């Protein structure tokens, strides 16, 4: 029986990417010294030459099943999947796999010790051009930021003591950090999450008593942050703490879910580890 995918298309143009999205598979991911089982959602794609009508989609599913069976960092699983995709789709020249999963992280409130869970969104990705696999690992967390601009205006209007934190508006914020990871290098995603939380004014918690809320707000008011402060400090801390090679790219995105504005606010940056370390040396 002839395969419709091997037929010549009516419009013979090269297709950049074709494959599955929202492909959910169980994976075992390395977290420091532990292995954690998660459900990851994948996007698995290959390119299609102009002479073929369609990809053999079942081969994509087979490759993803094989890649997801072995443990590793989420970026390593993605890179393994990219290699298997090109083995099975021998007509393709490049492959790309993106993945997302959620990690529950136990947290304890600052005063009463109330236990709750925060969510770390784990991100993995890889792209292969039959020679080099470029792998990326990232996280996204929710934190709290306080506005230094409004805080200064309020202090000046009330002629308050500069030694005490003045009130200002607060907002939840999403911080996303993605790093380019060399083959064979391990990066603990919880270390990335720690860096992301630490550049906000304060982490957020699921369970808080009144004394916890007071401490959280006082701490946050003592650490006001512009969006631009957040992304710069995150890039600096990644460059300082992770030991990445100079060519590795660090991407940071901050999104403020504004409380006093109808619109939201974002800041983004994309630098190499060498650029971040060079700016530290020249500061």
Query: What pLDDT digit, counting tens, does each position of 193-227 carry?
Result: 999 999 999 999 988 999 999 999 999 999 999 99
pLDDT at position 155, please?
Answer: 81
pLDDT in the model for residue 161 = 67
- The CATH class for the domain spanning 137-283 reads alpha beta
Give yes or no for residue 98 having a pLDDT over 50: yes
- Gap between the Cα atoms of 47 and 127, Å rounded: 12
Q: Which residue shows structure tokens 């136990």?
A: 106
Residue 1: is its pLDDT beyond 70? no
The pLDDT of residue 199: 95
Percent of the chain with pLDDT over 90: 78
Q: Lowest-pLDDT range, 45-54, 163-172, 250-259, 266-275? A: 163-172
Question: What ranges do the domains of the chain cover?
Answer: 1-131, 137-283
- C-alpha–C-alpha distance, residues 147 and 173, integer Å: 12
Least reliable range by pLDDT among 33-42, 118-127, 156-165, 173-182: 156-165
Alpha carbon 269 to chain centroid distance? Answer: 13
Distance CA 108, CA 124 (A): 28
Task: Measure the CA–CA gap between 27 and 34, rounded to whole angstroms.
Answer: 13
| pLDDT, average across residues 110-138 | 93
Taking only the tens place, the pLDDT of each residue in 142-185 is 999 999 888 888 888 887 666 678 888 889 999 999 999 987 88
Rounded alpha-carbon distances, angstroms, from residue 52 to 15, 89, 201: 9, 12, 53
Beta bridge partners of 268: 253
DSSP, residue by residue, 167-196: P--EEEEEEEEEEEE-TT----HHHHHHHH
Interatomic CA distance for residues 123 and 101, integer angstroms:
7
Task: Say what the alpha-carbon torsion angle 248, 70, 61, 5 is, to the nearest 10 degrees.
Answer: 70
Query: Token digits for 9?
Result: 């298309």
Whether 100 has a pLDDT exceeding 90, the answer reads: yes
Same fold, 1-131 and 137-283: yes
Question: Is pLDDT at 281 greater than 60 in this prediction?
Answer: no
Mean of pLDDT over the chain: 92
Q: How far apart are CA 40 and CA 274, in angstroms?
A: 32
Q: How far apart are CA 61 and CA 225, in angstroms?
A: 45
Percentages helix, strand, coil for the chain, rounded to the nearest 5? 30, 35, 30
pLDDT band at 283 (very low <50, low <70, confident <90, very high): very low
Whether 123 and 178 have beta carbons less than 8 Å apart is answered as yes
Position 132 scores a pLDDT of 84
Q: Once rounded to an integer, what is the mean pLDDT over residues 182-194?
A: 90
Q: Residue 280 above 70 pLDDT?
A: no
Q: What are the E-state strand segments in 189-248?
A: 202-203
Q: What is the CATH number assigned to the segment(s) 1-131?
A: 3.10.270.10
């Amino acid at each position: 029986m002839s395969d419709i995918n091997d037929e010549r298309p009516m419009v013979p143009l090269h297709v950049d990417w074709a494959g599955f999205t929202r492909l959910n598979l169980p994976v075992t991911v390395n977290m420091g010294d532990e292995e954690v089982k998660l459900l990851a959602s994948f996007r698995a794609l290959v390119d299609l030459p102009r002479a073929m009508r369609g990809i053999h989609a079942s081969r994509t599913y087979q490759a993803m099943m094989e890649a997801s069976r072995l443990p590793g960092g989420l970026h390593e699983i993605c890179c393994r999947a990219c290699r298997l995709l090109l083995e099975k789709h021998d007509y393709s020249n490049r492959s790309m796999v993106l993945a997302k999963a959620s990690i529950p992280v136990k947290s304890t409130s600052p005063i009463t010790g109330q236990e709750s869970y925060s969510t770390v969104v784990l991100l993995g990705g890889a792209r292969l051009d039959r020679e080099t696999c470029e792998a990326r690992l990232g996280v996204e967390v929710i934190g709290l930021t306080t506005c230094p601009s409004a805080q200064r205006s309020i202090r000046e209007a009330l002629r308050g003591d500069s030694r005490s934190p003045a009130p200002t508006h607060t907002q939840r914020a999403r911080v996303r950090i993605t790093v380019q990871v060399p083959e064979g290098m391990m990066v603990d995603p919880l270390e990335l999450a720690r860096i992301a939380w630490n550049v906000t004014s304060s982490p957020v918690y699921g369970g808080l008593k009144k004394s916890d809320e007071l401490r959280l707000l006082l701490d946050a008011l003592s650490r006001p942050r512009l969006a631009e402060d957040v992304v710069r400090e995150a890039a600096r801390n990644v460059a300082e703490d992770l030991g990445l090679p100079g060519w590795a790219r660090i991407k940071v995105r901050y999104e403020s879910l504004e409380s006093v504005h109808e619109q939201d606010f974002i800041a983004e940056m994309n630098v190499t580890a060498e650029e971040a370390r060079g700016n530290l040396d020249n500061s």
